[in-house]
């Protein structure tokens, strides 16, 4: 069979005696001729018809002889067509192989180009460090502007921080400033700062119609009122308002969102400014949805200050993504945003349960909210209270009735193999053929040479708490089962030791450690693996088990079947046992992902998964497709639980 475009040509070699499966040429010629003669003879006299019939007999005899001759010729033509088709098939196959080679060359060229761009960027940064003249000249010119009264010290500090944070862009934009007057240079610096603000906010391209409004408003902080500018835009079809502080510009013009010593001041300013904006614009929302400690202060602000300023019908919902980060501060700092420290520094309000001399900002958000959604959905509510409350257990127990448990999710606009822009082929539960292409591409990218029974992956972060013994045993078991393994995550000395052990045993050609984070490679590893080794099914940071299920890679606990593996391979492992290794099996929560993952993969060992891939491929395929067809994104159960919370508190 040769396929060209949408046409198919089926060719089968004939066996002697050769017979053509077509109407007889003799019959065909005869019928056509008689049909034409019949019409010609209508109305002729009898004598004419007799003469005509005699002529017809002679013509028919000649036609039969001619058709038999043509039949022999036609047989020769078919054989010629057959030979021509074979040559065409060989030609097309050669062209296909050439195209594959060209595609591989393009991919290699792309990889080299990316590396070259990274090298050039690094060199550019080095050049900036080597030639700081422009930066120092800008600093001196700003000092001159302060001395002349053109700008105040606060604005000067803001401009200096912009220069420090965006050295490379500054170096390109202000390479020639010697002949510019201060007023001209200041205007350009303001324009550059505003441009950077736009870029920083709209960097991901999701924010549309982003513009600065003419509206400014005052907000209270630190004993006085401060000016704020308002920006508007549309994010995923939803109108958003952004607040830019004019007097405290340095609060948010930074490289990172949080992680600074003055984070309490920064987010308290933002929270108070947001509430002042609502009141001054006359908005009356049904629900204020706050997240984590960063905006938890809005709970006390709302009930102690703003509820009586036209917001009597508003209620508060607090979502806690992580109970480990709570923000403990000195009580007197509450006065910065207008709150009364003496009223809030109490055990039933914001006083920390373990350190009574401090206030706990996250606790305040929980106490002052009408409903609280806890995100570690893999655990039951009681398990969270007793094991993962991080000192908040008494508070959570008191407010237990207003607690809801919601699952984590992934962004289905980013993590969906049927839409994934990083994959060489897209696929879904209904059409999974593209996964094989992704697997081939991953093996090619990693340099795996020989065929394998399965490709096993492990994606981890610097905070992943995996057992090195379990990891090494799992990899060794995979190698003995003719599998290939890829580990993607930050460089860790302990993993280097494992890799060295494999190298010493000449087993490293089928194990690849990738220490550089690469967004496209992360997607490809999920798509190109059959099994994903996981430290635990509860993974709020990377959400690897969730994403693995969606991409058709079975999440298997790293230490599943560890005792079985230890029996067969203990003598080859140079590590002691670990009694406190994480089992990954927790009390069952109500979330659908918890129920699915525990019922499908909790009791499956690595060895059992490999057996099913090899011996029961149909059963394995059904298992993978069933998981891929489920929706564990933010838009599914997590969204439903939050919407239910909205409805509930609106009716309070």
Mean pLDDT, residues 261-286? 95
pLDDT in tens, 119-136: 666 655 554 444 556 777
H/E element, 342:
helix 341-344
Percent of the chain at pLDDT exceeding 70: 71
- In terms of pLDDT, which residue wins out, 111 or 209? 209
Rounded-to-integer distance, Cα 478 and Cα 456, Å: 8
CA separation for the pair 82, 232 (Å, rounded): 69
pLDDT digits (tens, 9 = 90+) for 512-547: 888 876 889 999 999 999 999 998 887 877 889 999
DSSP state letters, 410-443 = --TTTS-TTT-TTSSS---SS--THHHHHHHHHH
Determine the pLDDT at residue 569: 41
How far is it between the farthest Cα atoms of the chain?
A: 134
What band does 328 get if pLDDT is binned at 50, 70 and 90? very high
Q: How far apart are CA 573 and CA 578, in angstroms?
A: 13
Q: What is the pLDDT of residue 582?
A: 36
pLDDT band at 223 (very low <50, low <70, confident <90, very high): very high
Residues 292-309: tens digit of each pLDDT? 999 999 999 999 999 999
pLDDT single digits (tens) 153-182? 777 887 787 777 666 556 555 655 666 787
41 has a pLDDT exceeding 60: no
Does the CA dihedral 331-332-333-336 come out positive or negative? positive
Lowest mean pLDDT among 13-27, 41-55, 459-473: 13-27
Asked if residue 613 has pLDDT above 80, the reply is: yes
pLDDT at 352 over 60: yes
383-421 pLDDT, tens digit per residue, is 666 666 688 999 999 999 999 988 888 999 899 999 999
Please list the residues that pair with 240 across neighbouring strands: 233
Predicted confidence at residue 132, as pLDDT, reads 58
Mean pLDDT across 146-151 = 84
User: CA angle, 200 as apex, 263 and 373 as ends, to 5°?
Assistant: 50
Distances 77 to 83, 182, 652 between C-alpha atoms, Å: 10, 89, 88
| Helix ranges (DSSP H) in 219-330 | 263-281, 292-296, 298-301
Structural contact between residues 294 and 320, judged by C-beta atoms closer than 8 angstroms: no
3-state SS string for 600-641: HHCCCCHHHHHHHHHHCHHHHHHHHHHHHCCCCCHHHHHHHH
The pLDDT of 475-494, averaged and rounded, is 87
Is residue 138 a contact partner of residue 164, using CB atoms and an 8 Å limit? no
Nearest-5° Cα angle at 355, 350 to 360: 30
Please give the Cα distance from 559 to 563 (Å, whole number). 9
pLDDT at 326: 92
**Complete edge-to-edge strand list for the sheet that includes strand 238-245:** 207-221, 224-235, 238-245
- Cα distances from 309 to residues 215, 279, 398, 591, in angstroms, run 21, 7, 29, 39
pLDDT of residue 228: 94
Mean pLDDT score, 84-97: 82
- Nearest one of 604, 525, 504, 511 to 560, comparing CA atoms: 604
Contact call for residues 488 and 525 (beta carbons, < 8 A): yes
Alpha-carbon distance of 181 to 578, in angstroms, equals 69
Angle between helices 606-615 and 562-569 (to 10 degrees): 90
pLDDT per residue as tens digits for the range 358-388 = 999 999 999 999 999 998 655 666 666 666 6
Identify the sign of the CA torsion 260, 263, 265, 270: positive
Closest CA to 526 of 556, 494, 553: 553
In sequence order, which residues have a C-beta less than 8 Å from that of residue 638 and are 6 or more positions away?
Answer: 406, 407, 408, 409
pLDDT band for position 450 (cuts 50, 70, 90):
confident
What pLDDT is recorded for position 576?
35
Q: How far is CA 370 from the centre of its chain?
A: 33
Average pLDDT over residues 474-483: 91
d(Cα 453, Cα 455) in Å, to the nearest integer?
Answer: 7
Secondary structure element (H or E) that encloses residue 241, with its range: strand 238-245
pLDDT for res 386? 65
Q: What is the pLDDT of residue 5?
A: 33
Residues 300 and 329 sit within 8 Å (Cβ to Cβ): no
What are the tokens at 642?
């939050």
Computed over every residue of the chain, the mean pLDDT equals 78
What is the per-residue pLDDT for 106?
80
Determine contact, residues 593/539, Cβ cutoff 8 Å: no
What is the average pLDDT across 536-560? 89
């Amino acid at each position: 069979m040769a396929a060209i475009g949408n046409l198919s040509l089926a060719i089968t070699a004939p066996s002697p005696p050769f017979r053509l499966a077509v109407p007889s040429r003799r019959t065909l010629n005869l019928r056509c001729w008689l049909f034409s003669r019949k019409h010609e003879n209508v109305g002729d006299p009898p004598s004419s018809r007799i003469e005509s019939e005699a002529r017809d007999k002679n013509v028919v005899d000649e036609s039969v002889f001619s058709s038999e001759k043509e039949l022999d010729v036609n047989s020769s033509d078919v054989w010629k067509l057959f030979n021509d088709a074979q040559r065409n098939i060989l030609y097309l196959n050669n062209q296909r192989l050439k195209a594959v080679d060209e595609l591989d060359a393009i991919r290699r060229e792309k990889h080299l180009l990316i590396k070259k761009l990274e090298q050039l960027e690094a060199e550019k940064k080095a050049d900036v460090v080597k030639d700081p003249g422009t930066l120092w000249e800008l600093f001196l010119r700003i000092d001159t502007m302060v001395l002349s009264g053109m700008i105040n010290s606060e604005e000067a500090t803001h401009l200096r921080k912009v220069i420090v944070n965006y050295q490379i862009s500054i170096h390109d934009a202000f390479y020639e400033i010697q002949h510019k007057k201060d007023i001209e240079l200041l205007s350009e610096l303001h324009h550059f700062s505003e441009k950077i603000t736009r870029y920083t906010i709209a960097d991901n391209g999701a924010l549309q119609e982003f513009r600065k409004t003419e509206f400014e408003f005052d907000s209270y902080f630190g004993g006085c009122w401060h000016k704020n500018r308002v920006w508007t835009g549309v994010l995923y079809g939803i109108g958003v308002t952004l607040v830019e502080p004019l007097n405290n510009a340095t609060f948010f013009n930074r490289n990172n969102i949080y992680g600074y010593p003055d984070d309490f001041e920064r987010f308290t300013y933002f929270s108070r400014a947001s509430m002042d904006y609502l009141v001054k614009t006359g908005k009356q929302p049904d629900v204020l949805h706050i997240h984590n400690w960063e905006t938890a202060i809005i709970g006390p602000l709302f009930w102690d200050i703003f509820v009586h300023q036209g917001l009597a019908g508003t209620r508060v919902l607090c979502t806690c993504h992580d109970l480990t980060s709570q923000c403990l501060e000195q009580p007197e700092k509450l006065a910065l945003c207008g709150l009364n420290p003496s009223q809030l520094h109490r055990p039933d309000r914001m006083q920390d349960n373990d350190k009574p001399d401090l206030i706990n900002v996250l606790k305040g958000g929980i106490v002052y909210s009408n409903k609280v959604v806890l995100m570690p959905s893999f655990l039951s509510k009681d398990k969270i209270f007793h094991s993962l409350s991080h000192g908040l257990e008494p508070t959570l127990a008191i407010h237990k009735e207003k607690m809801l448990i919601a699952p984590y999710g992934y962004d289905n606009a980013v993590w969906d193999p049927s839409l994934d822009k990083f994959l060489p082929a897209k696929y879904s539960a209904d059409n999974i053929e593209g996964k094989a292409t992704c697997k081939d591409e991953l093996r090619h990218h990693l340099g795996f040479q020989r065929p394998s029974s399965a490709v096993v992956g492990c994606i981890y972060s610097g905070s992943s708490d995996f057992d090195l013994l379990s990891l090494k045993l799992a990899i060794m078991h995979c190698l003995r089962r003719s599998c290939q393994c890829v580990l993607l995550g930050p460089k860790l000395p302990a993993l280097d030791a494992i890799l060295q052990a494999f190298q010493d045993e000449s087993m490293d050609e089928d194990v690849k450690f990738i220490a550089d984070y690469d967004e496209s490679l992360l997607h490809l590893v999920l798509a190109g693996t059959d099994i994903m080794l996981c430290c635990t099914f509860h993974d709020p940071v990377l959400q690897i088990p969730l994403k693995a299920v969606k991409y058709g890679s079975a999440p298997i606990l790293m230490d599943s079947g560890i005792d079985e593996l230890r029996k067969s391979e203990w003598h080859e492992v140079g590590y002691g046992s670990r009694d406190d290794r994480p089992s990954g099996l927790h009390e069952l929560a109500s979330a659908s992902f918890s129920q699915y993952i525990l019922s499908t993969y909790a009791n499956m060992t690595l060895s059992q998964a490999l057996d099913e891939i090899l011996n029961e491929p149909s059963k394995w395929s059904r298992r993978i497709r069933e998981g891929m067809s489920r929706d564990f994104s933010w838009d599914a159960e997590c969204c439903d639980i939050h919407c239910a919370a909205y409805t509930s508190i609106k009716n309070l």
